[in-house]
């Protein structure tokens, strides 16, 4: 592109003396460009021919100190990324910010490092309505307070609502059925439940397990994941990890974390809505 002011002025002078078409042929410049230069030259003289950046003007947002302190406090407390921080500020403070503005602040403060985007090797799927499918799985065993425990997590597939997270001494059928009966009474029956092939869920010696029998009598379809394929239970597997990572850091007991997860924590797969908002506002399957 012709950037010299002197050369542009020569082209304009030629167009004025002869014609725009002749100047366009001699200098191999588009006629529309010469007309634009003529207009600028007539209005501003030689200064109108100075090359200007065509990048859009996007002034950076200036953050007030109290808002900076709020963002940094949320980051240190919850370890939220820029997108989730923007969602929390919009929900709690009514503040609308670009996630890049928050990203630059966190980067300047040394609270975030650029990460390479990982390629997803699987296709995420989700049911359309709450109570269509519940995923459930036991986590453990692990040690807490000097004792060996298991944890049963139950999550709604569509809304990511954490229906239950219960610690127990063993992954037993009795504990599983007590929890499921309580959840059905509180939330209604799901159409389907998805589990792995553990002995507590499916009989390994033929016949039906106590859980399978309960599903049949309750009118719930039991789906079993493919063996050695934890991706099928990806949502409940991820919530296992999320609880382990966040509960201790936030200083919450399991019951308190359950409330926080469902009512306060924005979920990226839900466009930064909280699971409780989607579970209770969407049209749930009631049976």
What confidence tens digit (pLDDT) does each residue in 88-106 have? 998 888 888 888 999 999 9
Asked whether the predicted pLDDT for residue 222 surpasses 80, the reply is yes
Asked whether the predicted pLDDT for residue 85 surpasses 80, the reply is yes
Q: Please report the pLDDT score of residue 7 as a whole number.
A: 85
Over residues 245-274, the pLDDT tens digits come to 999 999 999 999 999 999 999 998 888 899
- The mean-pLDDT minimum among 75-89, 91-105, 152-166 falls in 91-105
Taking the model in full, what pTM does it have?
Answer: 0.74
Residue 255: DSSP 8-state: H
Helix axes 31-44, 20-27, angle to 10 degrees: 120
Is the backbone peptide bond immediately before 141 cis, with ω within 30 degrees of 0? yes
Give 96-161 as a DSSP string: ---HHHHHHHHHHTT-----PPPPP-S-----SSTTSEEEEEEEEEEEETTEEEEEEEEEETTT--
How many Å apart are CA 220 and CA 54, to the nearest integer?
61
Share of the chain above pLDDT 70, in %: 90
Give 165-228 as a DSSP string: EEEESS--HHHHHHHHHHHHHHH---SEEEE-S-TTTS-SSSS--HHHHHHHHHT-EEEEPPTT
Residue 84 CB neighbour total at 10 angstroms: 20
Question: Binning pLDDT at 50, 70 and 90, where does residue 58 land?
Answer: low
Mean pLDDT (the chain, rounded): 88
Residue 59: DSSP 8-state: P
How many Å apart are CA 287 and CA 282, to the nearest integer?
15
133-281: CATH number? 3.30.420.10
Segments in 195-233 forming alpha helices (H): 210-218
3-state SS class at 256: helix
Asked whether the predicted pLDDT for residue 1 surpasses 60, the reply is no
More confident residue, 227 or 169: 169
């Amino acid at each position: 592109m012709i950037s010299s002011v002197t050369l542009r002025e020569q082209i304009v002078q030629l167009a004025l003396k002869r014609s725009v078409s002749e100047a366009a042929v001699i200098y191999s410049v588009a006629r529309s460009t010469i007309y634009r230069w003529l207009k600028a030259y007539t209005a501003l003289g030689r200064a109108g021919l100075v090359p200007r950046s065509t990048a859009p003007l996007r002034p950076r947002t200036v953050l007030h100190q109290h808002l900076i302190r709020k963002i940094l406090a949320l980051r240190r407390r919850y370890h939220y990324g820029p997108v989730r921080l923007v969602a929390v500020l919009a929900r709690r403070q009514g503040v609308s910010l670009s996630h890049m503005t928050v990203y630059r602040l966190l980067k300047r403060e040394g609270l975030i490092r650029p990460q390479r985007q990982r390629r997803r090797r699987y296709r995420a799927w989700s049911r359309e309505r709450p109570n269509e499918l519940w995923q459930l799985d036991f986590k453990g065993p692990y040690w807490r307070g000097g004792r060996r425990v298991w944890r049963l997590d139950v999550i709604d597939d569509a809304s990511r609502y954490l229906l239950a997270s219960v610690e127990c001494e063993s992954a037993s059928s009795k504990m599983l059925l007590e929890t499921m009966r309580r959840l059905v009474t509180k939330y209604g029956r799901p159409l389907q439940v998805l589990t792995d092939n553990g002995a507590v869920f499916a009989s390994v010696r033929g016949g039906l397990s106590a859980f399978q029998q309960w599903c049949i009598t309750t009118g719930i379809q039991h789906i079993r994941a493919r063996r050695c394929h934890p991706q099928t239970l990806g949502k409940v597997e991820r919530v296992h990890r999320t609880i382990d990572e966040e509960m201790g850091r936030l200083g919450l007991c399991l019951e308190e974390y359950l409330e926080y997860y469902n009512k306060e924590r924005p979920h990226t797969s839900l466009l930064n809505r909280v699971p409780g908002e989607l579970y209770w506002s969407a049209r749930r399957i009631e049976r």
